[in-house]
């Protein structure tokens, strides 16, 4: 959605056709990103199925899996699509097909390696966000060109919108899927937990606002600073507030005996 809207950032002459153009571009970008991820996921599965000599070394297997996933991301970004969606689709496809074509050692090594990289990346990202708080707070209201102003009302409004939007999206999705199936797999308390889990905004949101270009002529992006600080505040607030109470909420809404059910729901 961000990449789609960004293509219209210099077109301020909106008319009744603009929302339809944005919707059309969104579906084209999303489907293209999914197609690229699916393509490379299938390629990886076929490579390990047909060329079994690649499975003689678990390190080689892990490296090839990692490189194919990263190639998917870079190709998608080069085509101005969504690299995240492409890599996510590629990863899902690899988990369903490629993983079963690996050697027993390759399955173990690749899973552990991905977990290590994931944990390290998550730690580095949150450390970076924490440092950004001091950076943006330090040069606020200094009169500099890159001045960053903190708006408490904007932060509160955005947090409220996120909560309402998440509950609405999950509720509508559950209703639509319920119309397509008579089987009831999710209880109301489990649905509440899914809603709660989605309240946490991640570093992707902060990374996207940093991509908003500065300047733009005629002060088109003069409010970029307050958008950046608001997003940073929302990420920290939702992560600390909702993330800290996640174990408590899980025990209340999803007892340990239902852990398997909620795991399937989240996946």
Tell me the pLDDT band of 104, cut-offs 50, 70 and 90: confident
pLDDT computed for residue 211 by the predictor: 77
Q: Among 3-17, 90-104, 165-179, name the one with the lowest average pLDDT.
A: 3-17
pLDDT computed for residue 231 by the predictor: 85
Of the two residues 5 and 156, the one the predictor is more confident about is 156
Q: Among 3-17, 126-140, 251-265, name the one with the lowest average pLDDT.
A: 251-265
Predicted TM-score (pTM) of this structure: 0.67
Average pLDDT for residues 46-70, to the nearest whole number?
85
Residue 224 pLDDT more than 60? yes
3-state secondary structure string, the chain? CHHHHHCCCCCCCCCCCHHHHHHHHHHHHHHHHHHHHHHHHHHHHHHHHHCHHHHHCHHHHHHHHHHHHHHHHHHHHHCCCCHHHHHHHHHHHHHHCHHHHCCHHHHHHHHHHHHHHHHHHHHHHHHHHHHHHHHHHHCCCCCCCCCCCCCHHHHHHHHHHHHHHHHHHHHHHHHHHHHHCCCCCCCHHHHHHHHHHCCCCCHHHHHHHCCCCCCCCCCCCCCHHHHHHHHHHHHHHHHHHHHHCHHHHHHHHCCHHHHHHHHHHHC
Tell me the pLDDT band of 36, cut-offs 50, 70 and 90: very high
Q: Which two tokens stand for residue 152?
A: 């408490």
Average pLDDT for residues 217-232, to the nearest whole number?
70
pLDDT computed for residue 142 by the predictor: 47
Q: Among 79-83, 91-95, 137-141, name the one with the lowest average pLDDT.
A: 137-141
Residue 214 pLDDT more than 80? no
Residue 155 pLDDT more than 50? yes
Average pLDDT for residues 42-55, to the nearest whole number?
86
Average pLDDT for residues 172-195, to the nearest whole number?
79
CA proximity to 49, closest of 110, 100, 92: 100
Average pLDDT for residues 212-220, to the nearest whole number?
57
pLDDT cut 90: percent of the chain above it: 7
Q: Three-state SS for 12?
A: coil
Specify whether the CB–CB gap between 63 and 115 falls below 8 A: no
Q: Three-state SS for 61?
A: helix
Of the two residues 118 and 11, the one the predictor is more confident about is 118
Tell me the pLDDT band of 215, cut-offs 50, 70 and 90: low
Residue 129 pLDDT more than 60? yes
Q: Domain spans of the chain?
A: 2-119, 152-266
pLDDT computed for residue 39 by the predictor: 92
Residue 158 pLDDT more than 50? yes
Average pLDDT for residues 67-82, to the nearest whole number?
88
């Amino acid at each position: 959605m961000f990449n789609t809207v960004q293509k219209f950032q210099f077109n301020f002459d909106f008319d009744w056709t603009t929302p339809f153009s944005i919707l059309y571009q969104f579906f084209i970008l999303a489907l293209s990103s999914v197609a690229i991820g699916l393509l490379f996921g299938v390629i990886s599965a076929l490579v390990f199925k047909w060329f079994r000599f690649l499975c003689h070394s678990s390190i080689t297997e892990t490296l090839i899996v990692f490189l194919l996933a990263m190639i998917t991301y870079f190709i998608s970004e080069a085509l101005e699509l969504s690299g995240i969606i492409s890599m996510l689709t590629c990863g899902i496809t690899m988990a369903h097909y490629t993983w079963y074509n690996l050697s027993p050692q390759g399955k173990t090594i690749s899973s552990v390696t991905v977990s290590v990289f994931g944990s390290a990346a998550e730690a580095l990202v949150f450390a970076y966000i924490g440092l950004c708080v001091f950076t943006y707070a330090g040069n606020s209201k200094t009169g500099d060109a890159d001045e960053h102003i903190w708006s408490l009302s904007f932060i509160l409004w955005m947090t409220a919108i996120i909560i309402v939007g998440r509950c609405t999206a999950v509720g509508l999705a559950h209703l639509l899927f319920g119309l397509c199936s008579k089987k009831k797999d999710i209880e109301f308390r489990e649905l509440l937990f899914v809603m709660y889990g989605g309240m946490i905004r991640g570093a992707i949101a902060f990374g996207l606002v940093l991509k908003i270009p500065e300047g733009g002529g005629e002060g088109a992006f003069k409010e970029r600073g307050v958008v950046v600080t608001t997003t940073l505040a929302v990420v920290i607030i939702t992560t600390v507030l909702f993330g800290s109470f996640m174990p408590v909420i899980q025990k209340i809404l999803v007892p340990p005996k239902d852990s398997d059910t909620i795991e399937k729901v989240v996946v």
